[in-house]
Structure 1
Amino acid sequence: MTNHEAEPLLTPAEVATMFRVDPKTVTRWAKAGKLTSIRTLGGHRRYRESEVRALLSGTPGTDSMGQ
């Protein structure tokens, strides 16, 4: 088991709530490569909480949402 597997994962709806956008916008960001998604066995997208929080806080070294 790697560290990534133990990390909390967020649903598109949870990420959308944090950014105050529609969940479909979060999916578009993932398709555009602005946010890394993990696919569940059922094909649903999940997002690493640490990556989402870094983007939300504007931490240097992560992709900018305004590209």
Structure 2
Amino acid sequence: MTATPQQTRQNGQEQLLTPGEVASLFRVDPKTVTRWATAGRIGSIRTPGGHRRFRESEVRALLAELTNDVSRSA
């Protein structure tokens, strides 16, 4: 899922992504995203139902950081 800047903030709140959406961005399994959250590699929010959600800005920052690290080592 790719959100436009208009979708990123709705009613002053940041867009939250599901583990599946984050996994799609990183091209990994959703369980990998959950392990990253458990290990503290990426922050998550728990919904009242106990599901994890991830802040889009944090996810995109991590993705950019990892992409830059790969670019520098190539």
TM-score range, shorter chain: 0.7 to 0.9
Select which of 2, 21, 33 maps to 2:40.
33
Looking at secondary structure, tell me which structure has more helix per residue. 2
Give 4+ residue runs of structure 1 displaced > 6 Å after superposition.
none
Equivalenced residues, count:
55
Select which of 20, 29, 40 maps to 1:22.
29
Identity of aligned residues (%): 73
What TM-score do the two structures reach when normalised by structure 1? 0.79
Note the residue ranges of structure 2 that are not aligned, 5 or more in a row. 1-11, 67-74
Distance in 1, matches of 2:20 and 2:38, equals 16
Note the residue ranges of structure 1 that are not aligned, 5 or more in a row. 60-67
What TM-score do the two structures reach when normalised by structure 2? 0.72
Give the 3-state SS of the residue equivalent to 1:43 in structure 2.
coil
What CA RMSD, in Å, does the superposition of the two structures yield over aligned residues?
1.4
